[in-house]
Amino acid sequence: MEQLKSMDQFTELKQDERVVFMFTAGWCPDCRVIEPSLPSIEADYPEFTFISVDRDEFIDLCGDLEVYGIPSFVVFHEGEEAGRFVSKDRKTKKQIESFLDSISVQ
């Protein structure tokens, strides 16, 4: 999964067709739990571009988007937020896939 490198990149990427920003951090145990599932999720949802956002590096962006728990997912479609799976709870592969399925039909 590609890493977000700058706010300019975020601004550009969110204009794309379907972008999933996954908010994470190196110290987050719940993020490590889903990490092994991410390659297969990316492969199963080729209509999305997946971007990893380091919560500590982009703390202001997290505040702007009201992302207070990680891992969390915010989807943009052509500059508009299309959906979010944001909470402080651990997420399973099945929950992430269900979330993406709900976005895919829009």
Catalytic residue numbers? 28, 31
- Which residues on neighbouring strands pair with residue 73, listed in sequence order? 22, 85
Map 36-95 to HEC letters. HHHHHHHHHCCCCEEEEEECCCCHHHHHHCCCCCCCEEEEEECCEEEEEECCCCCCCHHH
